[in-house]
A = this chain, B = another copy of it.
């Protein structure tokens, strides 16, 4: 029991020197990767850069205690940061103390929600975000984030949390374009893209091992920070309109008690829920993917608690919402992390950086951080998924396209809610008009299939119909209508067999319909039979009057029904 809620008790028992070495190496690499990301995502959320560092210390320590994934790397991520900016931006002015207060409260409330959902074992709620909706949402968010980076990359004050607002503010203030800033930004982008594609092969060709070459390539962002910071410092570019990060307090975060303000909590409740669910879906996907590669298992409900407590920890140390990051976790995994302790060591690394490194970042141009984000999020745009979804299912594509469009034009919150709503609506519409088939016996077998698709034998006095859906309220009326319609067209039928292999449950609404159908068929001297009713469905039917009133029989298999009714 204790082990379930404290997974650290499981893995810490076998912790040896070898594991320690692996974890330490991974921690160093992830720390170097996380520093620029933490600063950049804090800016993306509209917060001072040090908040990003704070959010990369306590949450990692806490996740090491409560998390079940061995390799998940937690911290500020792009999409959650954008959602934070969108939510908090409606309540307070960026840069004001209220803005920071609201961001902290958002992390706290989101953490609370996740933890409670975990304790109530509500992990299944995350399943209601379908792949097309998530994929569309992330693609659209990435576009909004990339567009938002035009501010640090060009000096033009881009505002707004959706593409339309961003474009209109771009057109309004394009005269603020700053050449020096743009040169730094564009230079960094080109450098980062180049290192992504070329440096690893180059290093490998120079004789480095695969892992070392990979690690070398991952150093590019920190290298670009060093170079551009030096450049700004040496040439005094901050005097030429280049925005710099400036003073970052080089102290560890203190205890921040989130304000209990019912009005504020009420206002951020919905954004907190959305950030929680999106963050959880991202976390669980990454964690499951990586766990499967090493044949490890993660516990989806305990992951809710892990992510929840991490967010509460972020809030209590003055940070903002955190999530398991995809690229960061992959780096952690590939760098050889064996246990969540690697995350704890990363936290120590970030804490050291906060104290000792921040003074060196005074001249760091924001354009460099903007370029880091820009390059990172462009890889989130998933055009392939749009193509394959379009080919496979028009309904899924409709949900995806609507999510993308509404996220781009109306913002992240509306976009994701609309996406979930649309996919549920399409699902319900589909089940409300289910597929059905009139079936016959495939020649030479005991197998029954659609008379329109297979060579089958049928009995003219028996209508065998297979409804390809559970019978429940959205389609309760459909069955009645369908059978009535078919019977009206064929007066020779004396038996109707409802073949039920696809009926996984029958709810009260459908039971009433079945009873009505049975009574109406009896009026026309037609008997109603059921075949291949599943165990759990049968158990439930036994608790109603239906089996007693049924004019026909219940057959174990459709073949028995066919033989028996043909003989009678």
Q: Which residue of chain B is the closest to A524 with respect to CB atoms?
A: B295
Interfacial residues of chain A within 442-479, with CB under 8 A of chain B in the complex = 442, 445-447, 449-450, 453, 468-470, 472-478
Chain A 430-444 interface mask (CB, 8 Å, partner B; 1/0): 101111010000100
| Distance from A522 Cβ to chain B, minimum over Cβ atoms (Å) | 13
Tell me if A95 is interfacial: C-beta within 8 Å of chain B. Answer: no
The answer to whether B544 and A388 have CB atoms under 8 Å apart is yes
Tell me if A208 is interfacial: C-beta within 8 Å of chain B. Answer: no
Tell me if A507 is interfacial: C-beta within 8 Å of chain B. Answer: yes
The answer to whether B535 and A450 have CB atoms under 8 Å apart is yes
Tell me if A130 is interfacial: C-beta within 8 Å of chain B. Answer: yes
The answer to whether A540 and B509 have CB atoms under 8 Å apart is no
Which of A124, A388, A449 gathers the greatest number of chain B CB atoms within 10 Å? A124
Tell me if A502 is interfacial: C-beta within 8 Å of chain B. Answer: yes
The answer to whether B473 and A130 have CB atoms under 8 Å apart is yes
Which residues of chain B come closer than 8 Å to A505, judged between CB atoms?
430
Tell me if A129 is interfacial: C-beta within 8 Å of chain B. Answer: yes
The answer to whether B468 and A534 have CB atoms under 8 Å apart is yes
Given contacts A391-B543, A391-B544, A535-B437, contact A557 B508 (CB under 8 A): no
B445, B508, B544: which contacts A131 (Cβ < 8 A)? B508
Which of A127, A520, A532, A543 gathers the greatest number of chain B CB atoms within 10 Å? A127
Tell me if A409 is interfacial: C-beta within 8 Å of chain B. Answer: no
| Distance from A312 Cβ to chain B, minimum over Cβ atoms (Å) | 26
Chain A residues with a Cβ closer than 8 Å to the other chain, count: 70
The answer to whether A543 and B502 have CB atoms under 8 Å apart is no
Which residues of chain B come closer than 8 Å to A428, judged between CB atoms?
128, 424
Which residues of chain B come closer than 8 Å to A534, judged between CB atoms?
435, 437, 450, 468, 502
The answer to whether A442 and B556 have CB atoms under 8 Å apart is yes
Tell me if A97 is interfacial: C-beta within 8 Å of chain B. Answer: no
Tell me if A266 is interfacial: C-beta within 8 Å of chain B. Answer: no
Which residues of chain B come closer than 8 Å to A260, judged between CB atoms?
none
Tell me if A396 is interfacial: C-beta within 8 Å of chain B. Answer: yes
Tell me if A551 is interfacial: C-beta within 8 Å of chain B. Answer: no
Interfacial residues of chain A within 467-517, with CB under 8 A of chain B in the complex = 468-470, 472-478, 484, 488, 501-505, 507-509, 511-512, 516
B128, B475, B476, B559: which contacts A473 (Cβ < 8 A)? B128
Given contacts A391-B544, A392-B540, A445-B446, contact A130 B435 (CB under 8 A): no
Tell me if A324 is interfacial: C-beta within 8 Å of chain B. Answer: no
- How long is the Cα–Cα vector from A288 to B481 in the complex, in angstroms? 10
Tell me if A22 is interfacial: C-beta within 8 Å of chain B. Answer: no
Which residues of chain B come closer than 8 Å to A393, judged between CB atoms?
507-508, 540
The answer to whether A127 and B432 have CB atoms under 8 Å apart is yes
Interfacial residues of chain A within 247-266, with CB under 8 A of chain B in the complex = none
| Distance from A489 Cβ to chain B, minimum over Cβ atoms (Å) | 12
Tell me if A427 is interfacial: C-beta within 8 Å of chain B. Answer: yes
The answer to whether B504 and A501 have CB atoms under 8 Å apart is no
Tell me if A94 is interfacial: C-beta within 8 Å of chain B. Answer: no
- How long is the Cα–Cα vector from A389 to B508 in the complex, in angstroms? 6
Tell me if A132 is interfacial: C-beta within 8 Å of chain B. Answer: yes
The answer to whether B392 and A132 have CB atoms under 8 Å apart is no
The answer to whether B504 and A434 have CB atoms under 8 Å apart is yes
Which residues of chain B come closer than 8 Å to A556, judged between CB atoms?
442, 447, 449
Interfacial residues of chain A within 356-397, with CB under 8 A of chain B in the complex = 388-389, 391-393, 395-396
Which residues of chain B come closer than 8 Å to A130, judged between CB atoms?
472-473, 476, 507-509
| Distance from A81 Cβ to chain B, minimum over Cβ atoms (Å) | 26
| Distance from A533 Cβ to chain B, minimum over Cβ atoms (Å) | 11
- How long is the Cα–Cα vector from A557 to B373 in the complex, in angstroms? 53
- How long is the Cα–Cα vector from A428 to B432 in the complex, in angstroms? 14
B292, B424, B445, B468: which contacts A520 (Cβ < 8 A)? B292
Tell me if A207 is interfacial: C-beta within 8 Å of chain B. Answer: no
Tell me if A240 is interfacial: C-beta within 8 Å of chain B. Answer: no
Tell me if A423 is interfacial: C-beta within 8 Å of chain B. Answer: yes
Which residues of chain B come closer than 8 Å to A239, judged between CB atoms?
none
Which residues of chain B come closer than 8 Å to A557, judged between CB atoms?
442, 445, 447
Chain A 55-79 interface mask (CB, 8 Å, partner B; 1/0): 0000000000000000000000000
Tell me if A566 is interfacial: C-beta within 8 Å of chain B. Answer: no
The answer to whether A131 and B473 have CB atoms under 8 Å apart is yes
Which residues of chain B come closer than 8 Å to A532, judged between CB atoms?
501
Given contacts A468-B504, A501-B501, contact A127 B474 (CB under 8 A): yes
Tell me if A198 is interfacial: C-beta within 8 Å of chain B. Answer: no
Chain A 245-289 interface mask (CB, 8 Å, partner B; 1/0): 000000000000000000000000000000000000000000010
**9 CB < 8 A contacts A-B:** A124-B429, A124-B474, A127-B477, A128-B473, A292-B484, A392-B511, A393-B507, A446-B447, A502-B504
User: Which 10 pairs of residues, A with B, have the shortest CB-CB distance?
Assistant: A130-B473, A501-B501, A131-B509, A396-B508, A447-B557, A468-B504, A446-B446, A127-B474, A124-B432, A502-B502
Known: A127-B432, A502-B504. 4 other contacts (CB 8 A): A124-B429, A131-B476, A396-B508, A445-B559
